[in-house]
Chain A
Amino acid sequence: MTLSITHLYYLVGGILAVTALMTAADRQHTRRWSSSLFWGLYALVFLVGEQLPVAWVGAGVVVMALIAAAGGVGVGRPAQRSAADTLASVRRLGNKLFAPALAIPLVTMLGTLSAKYLSIGGVPLLDPKNTTLVSLGLGCLVALALACWLTHETPVQGIRESRRLTDALGWALVLPQMLGMLGLVFSDAGVGKAVAHVTTTYINMDLRFIAVLVYVVGMALFTIIMGNGFAAFPVMTGGVGVPVLVGMYHGNPAVMAAIGMLSGYCGTLLTPMAANFNIVPAALLELPDKNAVIRAQVPTALALLVCNVFLLNFMMFL
């Protein structure tokens, strides 16, 4: 049997469904019923998303967004351990506490590297298309077993802790997927084509340096809008890179591609649209300002973008 990403969807769906039930049963919760509905709908997307008509899923997504916008995703007040108990654990376990935390990346890495060789009778054990994610899932299960063994806790307590953190993250947890969805809607609706059309029609690229500038800054700006350099690359490279930089000015396409994509990454550092990297960490680190991570990245991203303009202008025409 192959361990595939679908199994991870069932696992995550199950955890979210339990989260929804625990929330519904929590009388102390600030937004008990609407939060429960929010996590319940999200659980359905993972458990039966593939079987439902897509328009229903779309309607569910709209309902989730409305619940979040109305402030309907609240926080529970699960019983915390006393500071003295925690201190006793720290004394008892010491550096052993690091072991399960480090087991996650370690198992993920081993799984990713050895996936090619793990097969029984020609059937791969790990889904070859999603080795990293499946290995991550495996790593988390191994680490959970290790953590339960060290701390003498049950996996049920693990799910309670997962719910505590899910609650603390709130709708920010769903935002990356919402933005991923938006990227696909943008490409279905032809936003990329329209942007490429506007840039190439209205900007005069007779000066080589202007063309370089348009490509680098365009990659960054388009990534800021789409939240993802992968979405910006085909648009800017198809619109400006290939016809102008390579076609008109005979630049080295390998340099163009490498620096173009890395200019897109500068845009990723600057945009709330890249929620997984910028907004979710702010929530995970309990920062009151959701844009705090972006603020810390702005000087690096802008300085690097300037470097990229000059690197591209120099190296592409060597």
Chain B
Amino acid sequence: MPTPTNLWPLLGVAVIIAGFLLRFNPMLVVIVTAIVTAFAAGFAPDKILATIGTGFIKTRNLPLIILLPLAVIGLLERHGLRQHAQNWIGSIRSATAGRLLVVYLAARQLTAAIGLTSLGGHPQMVRPLLAPMAEGAAEARHGPLPERVRHKLRAYCAATDNVGLFFGEDIFVAFGAIVLMTTFLREAGIEVEPMRVALWGIPTAVCAFLIHAWRLQRLDRMLERDIALEAASSGAPAAPAEQQAQGAQA
């Protein structure tokens, strides 16, 4: 008989699911989960703190990608980068929010597939450029956007960056995930060419593009409908002058 697996650490999984569902502060949920899980594994209190500390030090590279660009992006925003991005796209007649995002999805996926994952990203591309452009294109077509619609459009911009990145980078042979997969399989006694793993990712990547691009195609009509609904629910057409001023600030 092999030694029985300790099932108590699964308690941590229950805690984190419950915590997120009950909408506690995520920082609190994570720290409580870490403590419960380590305790369930039979760690002593000082070892629990040490495990948390070690883990936190080891993952210091994670926030760099967000923190480093903030100074530049903030400075450019102070001088109107987002307004300019909005105006610039507004001057292109054929641009709609949906079409812009389809083009971005394709570009993000293709560049990630050849290893250029750093060409996009939320702090340096989505916030200062992509989102204002999508908003600018939508405003040029539909007039000022109600806040709810603006937020929805922004969420789609972030989602498009994620989908493009995830289902592009996995096709790149030298990508970390492929190294991880082949190394793991080698240890399990199975030899696999990294190139083959990359190639077999292509059908899923194509499906990802088709599904998400189809949804983006429908985005323009959805925005139009949402704006109409919003106008109907507020009783009267929104005061354009006031909305315009808000739009310029945001």
Contacts and interface: CB of A to CB of B under 8 A. Distances in A.
Q: Do A and B come from one complex?
A: yes
Interface of A: 5, 8-9, 11-12, 15-16, 45-46, 49-50, 52-62, 64-66, 68-69, 81, 83, 86-87, 89-90, 93-95, 97-98, 100-101, 104-105, 108-109, 112, 130, 132-133, 135-137, 140, 143-144, 147-148, 150-151, 153, 155, 157-162, 164-166, 169, 171, 173-186, 188-191, 193-195, 197-198, 225, 229-230, 233-234, 237-238, 242, 246, 252-255, 257-259, 261-262, 265, 268-269, 272-273, 275-282, 284-289, 292-293, 295-297, 299-300, 303-304, 307-308, 311, 315
A143 B72 contact: yes
Most B Cβ at <10 Å: residue of A16, A176, A186, A197: A186
Interface of B: 5-10, 12-13, 16-17, 20, 24-28, 30-31, 33-35, 37-38, 40-41, 43, 46, 48-81, 83-85, 87-88, 115-129, 131, 151-152, 154-159, 161-163, 166-167, 170, 176-177, 180-182, 184-185, 188, 190, 192-193, 196-201, 203-205, 207-208, 211-212, 215, 248-250
Contact of B74 (A66, A109, A164, A230): A164
Contact of A287 (B31, B68, B154, B170): B154
Contact of A181 (B25, B59, B64, B193): B59
Most A Cβ at <10 Å: residue of B43, B54, B74, B193: B74
B64 A69 contact: no
B209 to A, nearest CB: 10
Contact of B57 (A11, A50, A98, A135): A50
Contacts, number: 434
Given A181-B34, A191-B10, A282 B188 contact: no
A280 B66 contact: yes
Given A83-B249, A285-B131, 13 more contacts: A5-B61, A11-B68, A50-B57, A55-B53, A90-B83, A93-B79, A112-B115, A140-B68, A165-B73, A225-B13, A230-B176, A282-B158, A303-B211
Most A Cβ at <10 Å: residue of B33, B60, B190, B205: B60
Nearest to A153: B75
Contacts of A268: 162, 166
Given A161-B75, A242-B190, A194 B68 contact: no
Contacts of B196: 254
